[in-house]
Amino acid sequence: MGIKGLMIAAPSSGTGKTTVSIGIMKALTDMGLKVQPFKVGPDYIDTGFHYFASGNESHNLDSVMGSNNTVKEIYYHNSEGKDISIIEGVMGLFDGKAGNSLKGSSFEISRILGIPIVMVIDISASGRSAAAVVKGFRDFDKRALLKGVILNRAGSDYHCSMVKEAIETTTGIKVLGCIKRNNELKLGSRYLGLVTAAENQINDAYLKNLSSLIRKSIDLEQIVKISSTASKPSKYKPVIYNRREKEKCTIGIAYNKAFTFYYPENIELLKKFGAKIIYFDPVIDRKLPHMDGIYIGGGYPELYAGELSGNSALLAEIKEKIDDGMPVFAECGGYMYLSESINYGDAEYPMVGAIPARTHMEGLSLGYRKIYPAAPGEILKEGEKAMGHEFHYSRIVFNKSHSEAYKFENGKSEGYSSKNILSGYAHLYFPSNQNVPKRFVKQCVEYKNKTVE
């Protein structure tokens, strides 16, 4: 039996694709369907919106950081037991890693999974020309399974009907609905993209209004019908969601409004290799729960620097544990948290101080990375690589010599590495090299055994 699924794509970013996607997820959920959300690419923020809309954890489908097999396994495994899977695309339909490549694009993910595509078109400043856009995308690569169009930001009923007629008569592609301009439902944004779901205050009232608008504006029965045209699952080898080892250590994950950027598969692989996962809040918790290792992911620690810095008892305990040899894996926001301080606005906020450096907010670093060890280490060995990405507006300045963690294909290197610390701006994607989570768990087990002796 096949999996019902479709992709919500667009000609470019900024069309309202995310708002429409979470609106459809919420509306279908309100109709009683179990909706499984996904996001193309490495983005952490949209997946947070998906969870609020569907009640189910969203997963990234990334064919740059992961293999085709990884994409299939994540999609098929998490779609089991669900009525429909909705994939939100990334940027424009054909936008991938490079200008001459479809690698990592929404189109490529659609091809790997055999998923039909529905495109969101922003018609706020166009009429008949919208038909040329649809025709161009249909003809650019005829392998695209373009099955429908949703018009967004229309000015009036007449505007809707005019553009609908133009598209359907010139392309034969059905317009599934038309949404009028509504600034109240627009999602906020900041330098790393959209503002997170929690900060946007995506509450029940917002979702209720969005769901109502979608149900009035879009033919959801047709959406479900199109999803049933998805290809039957193709063969793949389970390498993530297969047999778990017996629990042999406890890893504490920092999770709160400052640290929300984690790939579910990273956590799943830690569990696979024997880690029991617990969570702690670096703002609220005054004491660490029992753990044998710490994982601190990315987020926006600069926005909550005052609150993080104010929890001096926890900062001191984390520093003490790290000095005692407790393994810690930190990326991006977590890397900043381990530094001596974060400079934000006109203030400097003390942090953990496990890394001899200060964090300054400046410059943009963005993109996929092939990640190699800067020097032979405990987690990433010489001759190995992992895939990941960078996305940050800060710089860490060291005040003494140190061992870097990672080097990239372009020759640049970054991060901080010691016997029990592996940290850097790069977000590592564990499915790209399962030795990374496996060895981190091993480190935590060794620390546990040492403290028991």
**pLDDT tens by residue, 389-402:** 998 889 999 999 99
Residue 197, pLDDT score: 56
Query: What pLDDT score does 285 carry?
Result: 98
User: How much is the pLDDT for 191?
Assistant: 46
The pLDDT score that the predictor gives to residue 195 is: 56
Mean pLDDT, range 116-122, rounded to an integer: 98
The pLDDT tens digits of the residues spanning 50-92 come to: 999 999 999 999 999 999 999 999 999 999 999 999 999 999 9
Pair (196, 315) in one structural domain: no
Domain that holds residue 180: 5-227
Measured CA distances, 139 to 114, 171, 344 (Å): 18, 10, 48
Determine the average pLDDT of the residues in 115-120: 98
Task: Convert the pLDDT of each residue in 127-144 to its tens digit.
Answer: 999 999 999 999 999 999
Tell me how many degrees the CA angle 409-411-412 measures, rounded to the nearest 5: 105
pLDDT for res 366: 81
- CA dist., res. 322 & res. 277, Å (int): 18
**What pLDDT band is residue 453 in, cutting at 50, 70 and 90?**
low
pLDDT score, position 183: 77
Would residue 389 count as lying in a domain?
yes
Q: 334 with 186, same domain?
A: no
Same domain, 294 and 147: no
Q: Average pLDDT of the chain?
A: 94
Please indicate, yes or no, if residue 235 is contained in any of the structural domains: no
- Residue 194 predicted with pLDDT over 50: no
* pTM for this prediction: 0.94
What is the average pLDDT across 411-432? 96
Q: Given the structure tokens 């974060």, which residue do they identify?
A: 342
Pair 356, 221 in one domain: no
**Is the pLDDT confidence value at 6 over 60?**
yes
3-state secondary structure of 238: coil
SS3 state at 34: coil
pLDDT at residue 452, rounded to an integer? 73
DSSP-derived letter for residue 199 is: T
Could you tell me which residue, 199 or 119, shows the higher pLDDT?
119
Taking the CA atoms of the chain, what radius of gyration do you get in angstroms?
A: 23
Work out the percent of the chain whose per-residue pLDDT is above 90: 88
* 210 lies in the same domain as 334: no
Write out the catalytic residue numbers. 332
Q: Which of 196, 227, 258 is the endpoint of a domain?
A: 227
List pLDDT tens digits, range 315-355. 999 999 999 999 999 999 999 999 999 999 999 999 999 99
b/e for 244-261, b at 16 or more Cβ within 10 A? eeeebbbbbbbbbbbbbb
Is the same domain home to 141 and 257? no
Give domain status of residue 243, yes or no.
no
In this structure, the answer to whether residues 213 and 263 fall within a common structural domain is no
Sheet hosting strand 347-350, strand order edge to edge: 347-350, 341-344, 357-360, 395-398
Q: What is the pLDDT of residue 102?
A: 96
pLDDT of residue 419 exceeding 70, the answer is yes
Q: Is residue 237 part of a domain?
A: no
360 vs 396: CA distance, rounded Å: 6
Sheet with 35-40, strands from edge to edge, namely: 59-61, 35-40, 84-88, 5-9, 117-122, 146-154, 175-180
What mean pLDDT is predicted for residues 245-260?
97
Is 44 in the same domain as 145?
A: yes
The answer as to whether 200 is a domain residue is: yes
The stretch 201-207 carries a mean pLDDT of 82
User: 143 and 190: one domain?
Assistant: yes
CB 323 within 8 A of CB 419: no
Give residue 184's pLDDT band: very low, low, confident or very high (50, 70, 90). confident
Q: What is the domain-level CATH number for residue 128?
A: 3.40.50.300
DSSP line for 352-370: ---SSEEEE----EEEEEE
Kindly state whether residue 80 falls inside one of the protein's structural domains.
yes
Are 315 and 350 part of one and the same domain? yes
Burial 276-288 (b: 16+ CB within 10 A, else e): ebeebebbebeeb
Please count the structural domains in the chain: 2
Same domain, 176 and 291: no
Please give the structure tokens belonging to residue 170.
């010139």
Q: Could you tell me if 95 and 192 lie in one domain?
A: yes
For position 190, what pLDDT does the model report?
Answer: 43
Residue 238 lies in a domain: no
Q: Is 335 inside a domain boundary?
A: yes
Would you place residue 282 in the very low, low, confident or very high pLDDT band (cuts 50, 70, 90)? Answer: very high
